[in-house]
Chain A
Amino acid sequence: MTTPIAVADTVSNAAATPEKEQPYAALGLKEDEYLKIREILGRRPTSGELAMYSVMWSEHCSYKSSKNYLRQFGTKVSPKMTKNLMVGMGENAGVVDVGEGWAVTFKIESHNHPSYIEPFQGAATGVGGIVRDIISMGARPVAVMDALRFGAIDHPDTARVVHGVVSGISFYGNCLGLPNIGGETYFDSVYQGNPLVNALAVGVLRHEDLHLANARGVGNVVVLFGARTGGDGIGGASILASDSFSAGGPTKRPAVQVGDPFAEKVLIECCLELFAKKLVEGIQDLGAAGISCATSELASNGDGGMFIELERVLLRDPNLTAEEILMSESQERMMAVVTPEKLEGFLAVTAKWDVETSVLGHVTDTGRLIINWHGEEIVNVEPRTVAIDGPVYDRPVAYPGWLDALRADTAAGLARPTTGDDLRAQFLALLGSPNLADKTWLTNQYDKYVMGNTALSFPDDGGMVRVDEESGLGFAVATDANGRYCQLDPYRGAQLALAEAFRNVAATGATPVAISDCLNFGSPENPEVMWQFGQAVEGLADGCLALEIPVTGGNVSFYNQTGDVPIHPTPVVAMLGVIKDVATRIPSGWQDEGNNIYLLGVTRHELDGSAWAGTIHDHLGGVPPLVDFDAEQRLAGLIAAGGEQSLVASAHDLADGGLGQALAEAVMRFGIGARVWLTEIMERDGVDAATALFSESTARMLVSVPREDDVRFQGLCEGRNYPVLRIGVTDNSGTLEVQDLFTVSLDQLRGTHRATLSDAFGPVIGQ
C-alpha cells in the first residue's frame, strides 16, 4: 500500500488563508513569538515555515534567554586572549593555534534531556553530534570525553540511566574509533530526574585546512549526504530540550534520535577526503533542528539566498511529511556547498565511501531561503530571521530567597574527627563515597588506545593526546564543575570550576590556553535560576579575563528541572592545554619509591560545601573556597617548568576530598606506598588534622620529586615564591601511613575505592 504524498501548505495558500489556526503552542512557540513570525512574513507562516521557526527559535537553538549574558565572553577579553584564537564563539567549534602549523578545535555540548528518556541512544547521539561539529571545521576528530551527572547512586532509577548512558557512550565512541581520554562522573539526588550528559570532542587540523560552514557563490550546489532522513528526533531541540519534564506528561521518546556510529565513521573519512581534495566550499553538520538549521544557517552565513527542492531528500520512511523532513534530527547527516564543476569529483568520493548523496538545490542571491515540495513553494523566508535574528529575552531575575540562610549554615559547627581512628574511618568513607570512588566500571568500557596517540587518560588529572608524531607536540584536556559550590555561590562556583580545570591541565605539564563551556541550569522562566545563570556567566567571564584564557564556544542547557525543582547550577568547564612534547607529561601517581612528597599551596579552613561535609554530615551550606587566579597561574607556571626540567615525577591536583583523597589516589595509581605527616601543614597554616586532610582549598597540588632533584625543585619553588612543604616520602611498604594518626594498606585502599560502583551497577569486568 502506498500513501499519497500529503498536500503541503504552500506559501500562496498561507497568504490566502490568514485565519487558519496553527499549532504553534504544541511546537513550543509562545503566542507573542508566533505573532512576531506573522509580522516578519507579512502573512501567516506555512506549516513548513512554522516548523522551521519553532525549532530554530527554541531555547536550545536560539539562546534567546542566554544571549545577553554570553556577550561578556566576547567583551571581557585582552589581546593575549585573542592572539591564538583562529575561530571564536559562534561557529560550529572554536579553533586554537597550538603552534608548528597545527590547530586544535574542541567543544563540549549537552545531550541531557534525551539521555534521561532513552539513555543509550541519548548518550550515543550526544557523542555523534559533537563529533560532527568538529568534522565540519575541517579537522580530524582525535578524542572524546564526557562530563556526567546522575541521581543518587542508590535510587532505583539510577542504574537504568547509568547503564544506558555508559553503554551508549561506549558503543558510539568505540565504534567511531575515537579514544575516550577522561571526564568526570558525579552522583547527586538533584540530578535524579535530570541527569547531565555533556559530551566533548577534540579535533586537530593544519592551519590551512580550516573550513567555515557558509553558502557562498551563486550557483553553487547544496548537497545532503550521509544517512537517510527518518522520523526520529522530530522536535528534539524544541519540545524536548527546551522544556522541563513534568509528572504525567508525555514521554517524548519519539523526540530522541537514534544513532549509527558506523555511518558516522564512514562520514568522517568521507568528509576528510572531500576537504583534502578541496572538493567542497563548506560543510555544515546536521544536528539540532536538522535541515531547518543547516539551510538557514548556511544561507545566513553566506550570500543570503538558497533554493531547495525538499522532495530530493533521501528518506528512510517515504511517508514523512515536508514538515517532518524539515524538523527531523536524524543523525549522521551533513550538508555541503559545492561548486558545479567539482560536483562530479564530490560524488565520486561519496560513492567510494558508499555514502548516499542527493543534490537538493543551489545558492542564490535572492536573499531568500526558498524551499519547494514537489514543485510548490512551501517556504519563502529571509534566512537570518530564522537562524540569527530570533527573539532575545531579558528574563526576570531574582536573588534566591533561600540563599542567605543556606550560606549562613556553615560547616564550622559540624563535628570534626580528632583521633587517628576517627580520621581513618572518615578518610575511608570519603574514598568509597560515590563521587570519589573508582570509576573503572565506566572507563574500562571505553577504548583509550585507538589512534595510538594517547599519552594520558583516566585516572590521571587530564587526558593528553599527541598531535605531531615527529615533534611530540600535544594537547591536554580536563573538564570540571562542582554543582554544590555553585548552589552556594554560582559566581564563585563557576570560577572554582574554571580554576580546577586549569589546575588539572597544568598538573599534566601542559599550559592551559582556552576553554569551552557547557552551562547546565534549570528553567530560565524561573527568576532565581536566571540569577544563578547570570552570576555563573559573569564569574566565568571575569575568571577567564583574569587568567587571560578565551572562551571558544560551548552550549547552554536550560530546563534541567522536573516540576519546580531545578538542578544545582552546573557550569562544566573544559580546559584545553598545549604541551611542546608529550614525552615530558606528568602522571598523577607515584611511580618510584624514595621520592619526596611535597604539598604546594596553602590549606585554609575551607570545609563548607566540601565532599567531607556532604559525605560525613550530609550537609550543604556556607561559603565555597576562595579562588586565587594569580596563585593558580604561578602554580601552573611552576609545574610546567618542573615538568620541562624533569624535576617532577608526579603531580596531582587537590580538589574534591582534599589532601586525603589526593594521597590515596597517588598511592593507588601505580601501587607505590608512602609515609606522610600533617604536622607541618597544621603548624604553618594553623589548621587541625581533619582540615589538613579534608579541606578543599584551591591552588594546591601534590607532587613527588626524585631525591637527586630535591635541591633544584626547592630552588624552583623559592624562585617563584610559592608556598611548599615536604610532607612525606614514597616507599615500598604497600601502605599509606599518615604518621601518628593512621595506616591503610594498599589492598584496603583499592578495595574501598573499587567496591562502590560495582556494588551499585554490577561487577567491574577484568578487575
Chain B
Amino acid sequence: MRIGVITFPGSLDDRDAARAITIAGAEPVALWHGDHDLHDVDAVVLPGGFSYGDYLRAGAIASHAPIMAEVIEAAGRGIPVLGICNGFQMLAEARLLPGAHTRNAHQQFIRRDQRLIVENATTAWTNEFAAGEEIVIPLKNADGRFVADDETITRIEGNGQVVFRYAGLNPNGSMNDIAGISNERGNVVGLMPHPEHATEPGFGPDMPDAMRSGTDGLRFFTSAMASLIARA
C-alpha cells in the first residue's frame, strides 16, 4: 500500500508524515509540488508547514501548484486525501473542503498537546476510531481558526462532516470548536492538529501514564489502509 506525501516549498512535516506512514505499515512515496504525477499512489497526504511562507494566505499559493490538479482529480475518484495543518489550509483554498482559516483569535502561534473528540469515525482517515472517543494530538499553528458562513456550518454539522472537535480548550477560536472536517464523501479529511507527531512512543505528546508516549495519530494512517482494503 503506497501513500504519497507532497513536498511544497516550505513544507516542514513531510518527512514526519512519511515516517508515520512507515510506522503504520504502508510505503511512503515522496511527491513533488511541481510535477503533474501522483505516481499511482493509493492515498495522499498534504503535510504541515509554511508553504510559500504563508504569503498571501496560508495555503493559497500551494493550492495552485501543478500537482494540485491531480490531487483534485484523485479526490474526485474517491482516493483518501489527508490535509494536516498547512495541508488543511490548502484543501480549503483548493475548495476540496468547505470553510477557511484565519489568524488564531489570540494572534499568537500556539503549540500544545491538544485533546480532540472524534465526531465522525466513518471517514477514510478515522474508521479505526470510535465516535465520541477522546484522543491527544499535538497542535501547532498560527492561522488555525476555522471559519465558515452560517449556512456552511449548518450544512457540515448536519452532514456529519465535522470529524474532530477541540476538547477542554479551543486553542485558536475555531467556530463550533471545529478541529477537522471532511468532504461529503468522507475520503478527503483536513485537520489543524498533527497526527504524524503522535505515532512513535518516546516522541509523541505527554500522556497520563508516561512522558511523550501518545500514539493516537497512528490510527489516522491505519484507517486509510483499512479503507483502501475495503475499497479493493
A and B pair up:
yes
Task: List A residues at the B interface (Cβ < 8 Å).
Answer: 167, 170-171, 174-177, 260-263, 265-266, 352-354, 444-455, 466, 469, 582-583, 587, 591, 670, 763, 765-766
Residue pairs across A and B with Cβ atoms less than 8 A apart, 16 shown, are A174-B50, A174-B140, A174-B142, A260-B53, A265-B9, A266-B10, A447-B109, A449-B138, A451-B16, A452-B197, A452-B203, A469-B19, A763-B106, A765-B106, A765-B108, A766-B110
Q: Is B200's CB within 8 Å of the partner chain A?
A: yes
Q: Given A261-B53, A452-B197, decide whether A444 and B111 contact each other with a Cβ distance below 8 A.
A: yes
When distances are taken between beta carbons in the complex, the residues of chain B under 8 Å from A263 are: 53
Contact in complex: B16, A454 (CB < 8 Å): no
Q: CB < 8 Å: which of B19, B108, B138 contacts A167?
A: B108
When distances are taken between beta carbons in the complex, the residues of chain A under 8 Å from B138 are: 449
Question: Which chain B residue lies CB-closest to A671?
Answer: B208
Contact in complex: B53, A453 (CB < 8 Å): no
Contact in complex: A449, B202 (CB < 8 Å): no
Complex CA distance for A457 and B203, rounded to whole angstroms: 11
Q: CB < 8 Å: which of B12, B52, B203 contacts A454?
A: B203
What is the count of residue pairs linking A and B with beta-carbon distances less than 8 angstroms?
94
Contact in complex: A582, B202 (CB < 8 Å): yes
When distances are taken between beta carbons in the complex, the residues of chain A under 8 Å from B106 are: 763, 765
CB distance from A761 to the nearest CB of B (A): 11
Q: Is B13's CB within 8 Å of the partner chain A?
A: yes
Contact in complex: B52, A262 (CB < 8 Å): yes
Complex CA distance for A766 and B104, rounded to whole angstroms: 12
Interface mask (B197-232 → A, CB under 8 Å = 1, otherwise 0):
100101100100011100000000000000000000
When distances are taken between beta carbons in the complex, the residues of chain A under 8 Å from B50 are: 174-175, 261-262, 265
Q: CB < 8 Å: which of A448, A449, A582, A766 contacts B171?
A: A766
Q: Given A261-B50, A455-B203, decide whether A445 and B9 contact each other with a Cβ distance below 8 A.
A: no
Question: Which chain B residue lies CB-closest to A469?
Answer: B19
Contact in complex: B140, A262 (CB < 8 Å): no
CB distance from B65 to the nearest CB of A (A): 12
When distances are taken between beta carbons in the complex, the residues of chain B under 8 Å from A262 are: 9-10, 50, 52-55
Contact in complex: A265, B12 (CB < 8 Å): yes
Question: Which chain B residue lies CB-closest to A352?
Answer: B34
Q: List 15 other contacts, CB 8 Å, given A171-B109, A174-B142.
A: A175-B50, A177-B12, A177-B49, A263-B53, A265-B9, A265-B10, A353-B9, A445-B111, A448-B111, A450-B13, A452-B203, A455-B202, A765-B110, A766-B110, A766-B112
Which of A353, A444, A448, A452: most chain B Cβ within 10 A? A452
Contact in complex: B140, A449 (CB < 8 Å): yes
Contact in complex: A591, B211 (CB < 8 Å): yes
Taking CB atoms and an 8 Å cut-off, the chain B residues in 101-158 that contact chain A are 104, 106, 108-112, 138, 140, 142
When distances are taken between beta carbons in the complex, the residues of chain B under 8 Å from A450 are: 12-13, 16, 140
Complex CA distance for A78 and B85, rounded to whole angstroms: 50
Contact in complex: B171, A765 (CB < 8 Å): yes
Complex CA distance for A29 and B35, rounded to whole angstroms: 53
Q: Is B177's CB within 8 Å of the partner chain A?
A: no
CB distance from A404 to the nearest CB of B (A): 48
Complex CA distance for A265 and B48, rounded to whole angstroms: 14
Complex CA distance for A469 and B15, rounded to whole angstroms: 13
Contact in complex: A451, B10 (CB < 8 Å): no
Complex CA distance for A397 and B15, rounded to whole angstroms: 53
Question: Which chain B residue lies CB-closest to A262?
Answer: B53
Question: Which chain B residue lies CB-closest to A270?
Answer: B9
When distances are taken between beta carbons in the complex, the residues of chain A under 8 Å from B171 are: 765-766
Q: Is B1's CB within 8 Å of the partner chain A?
A: no
Q: Is B196's CB within 8 Å of the partner chain A?
A: yes
Complex CA distance for A573 and B212, rounded to whole angstroms: 28
Complex CA distance for A445 and B104, rounded to whole angstroms: 12
Question: Which chain A residue lies CB-closest to B22?
Answer: A469
When distances are taken between beta carbons in the complex, the residues of chain A under 8 Å from B110 are: 444-445, 765-766
When distances are taken between beta carbons in the complex, the residues of chain A under 8 Å from B203 are: 452-455, 466
When distances are taken between beta carbons in the complex, the residues of chain A under 8 Å from B55 are: 262
Q: CB < 8 Å: which of A174, A447, A587 contacts B211?
A: A587
Q: Is B169's CB within 8 Å of the partner chain A?
A: yes
When distances are taken between beta carbons in the complex, the residues of chain A under 8 Å from B210 are: 591
Complex CA distance for A448 and B196, rounded to whole angstroms: 13
When distances are taken between beta carbons in the complex, the residues of chain B under 8 Å from A763 are: 106
Q: Given A177-B12, A353-B9, decide whether A452 and B212 contact each other with a Cβ distance below 8 A.
A: no
CB distance from B196 to the nearest CB of A (A): 7
Taking CB atoms and an 8 Å cut-off, the chain B residues in 70-114 that contact chain A are 104, 106, 108-112
Which of A444, A448, A582: most chain B Cβ within 10 A? A444
Question: Which chain A residue lies CB-closest to B9?
Answer: A266
Complex CA distance for A265 and B14, rounded to whole angstroms: 13
Complex CA distance for A446 and B141, rounded to whole angstroms: 10
Question: Which chain A residue lies CB-closest to B170?
Answer: A766
Complex CA distance for A261 and B210, rounded to whole angstroms: 35
Q: Is B165's CB within 8 Å of the partner chain A?
A: no
Contact in complex: A449, B53 (CB < 8 Å): no
Contact in complex: B12, A455 (CB < 8 Å): no
When distances are taken between beta carbons in the complex, the residues of chain B under 8 Å from A260 are: 53
CB distance from B30 to the nearest CB of A (A): 12
Complex CA distance for A670 and B212, rounded to whole angstroms: 12
Contact in complex: A452, B200 (CB < 8 Å): yes
Contact in complex: B109, A170 (CB < 8 Å): yes
Contact in complex: A444, B197 (CB < 8 Å): no
CB distance from A543 to the nearest CB of B (A): 32
Complex CA distance for A466 and B19, rounded to whole angstroms: 14
CB distance from B231 to the nearest CB of A (A): 29
When distances are taken between beta carbons in the complex, the residues of chain B under 8 Å from A455 are: 202-203, 212
Q: Given A170-B109, A452-B19, A765-B171, decide whether A177 and B212 contact each other with a Cβ distance below 8 A.
A: no
Which of A353, A447, A469: most chain B Cβ within 10 A? A447
Interface mask (B3-32 → A, CB under 8 Å = 1, otherwise 0):
000000110110110010000000000000
Contact in complex: A452, B16 (CB < 8 Å): yes
Complex CA distance for A353 and B206, rounded to whole angstroms: 36
Which of B12, B104, B169: most chain A Cβ within 10 A? B12
Contact in complex: B196, A175 (CB < 8 Å): no
Question: Which chain A residue lies CB-closest to B23?
Answer: A452
CB distance from B90 to the nearest CB of A (A): 15
Complex CA distance for A266 and B53, rounded to whole angstroms: 10
When distances are taken between beta carbons in the complex, the residues of chain A under 8 Å from B197 are: 449, 452
Q: Given A453-B203, A455-B202, decide whether A445 and B196 contact each other with a Cβ distance below 8 A.
A: no
When distances are taken between beta carbons in the complex, the residues of chain A under 8 Å from B15 are: 451-452
Question: Which chain A residue lies CB-closest to B104?
Answer: A765
CB distance from B5 to the nearest CB of A (A): 13
Complex CA distance for A453 and B111, rounded to whole angstroms: 16
Complex CA distance for A167 and B197, rounded to whole angstroms: 23
Contact in complex: A354, B202 (CB < 8 Å): no
Complex CA distance for A261 and B19, rounded to whole angstroms: 25
Complex CA distance for A48 and B64, rounded to whole angstroms: 44
Complex CA distance for A10 and B171, rounded to whole angstroms: 60
Taking CB atoms and an 8 Å cut-off, the chain B residues in 45-74 that contact chain A are 49-50, 52-55
Q: CB < 8 Å: which of B13, B16, B112, B206 contacts A444?
A: B112
CB distance from B163 to the nearest CB of A (A): 21
CB distance from B47 to the nearest CB of A (A): 10
Q: Given A266-B9, A353-B9, A766-B169, decide whether A174 and B109 contact each other with a Cβ distance below 8 A.
A: yes
When distances are taken between beta carbons in the complex, the residues of chain B under 8 Å from A176 are: 12
When distances are taken between beta carbons in the complex, the residues of chain A under 8 Å from B10 are: 175, 262, 265-266
When distances are taken between beta carbons in the complex, the residues of chain A under 8 Å from B109 are: 167, 170-171, 174, 445, 447
Which of B10, B111, B140, B196: most chain A Cβ within 10 A? B111
Which of B12, B53, B108: most chain A Cβ within 10 A? B108
CB distance from B7 to the nearest CB of A (A): 9
When distances are taken between beta carbons in the complex, the residues of chain B under 8 Å from A353 are: 9
CB distance from B16 to the nearest CB of A (A): 4
Q: Given A265-B10, A354-B9, decide whether A175 and B211 contact each other with a Cβ distance below 8 A.
A: no
CB distance from A690 to the nearest CB of B (A): 33
Question: Which chain A residue lies CB-closest to B139?
Answer: A766
CB distance from B45 to the nearest CB of A (A): 14
CB distance from B21 to the nearest CB of A (A): 12
Complex CA distance for A723 and B92, rounded to whole angstroms: 62
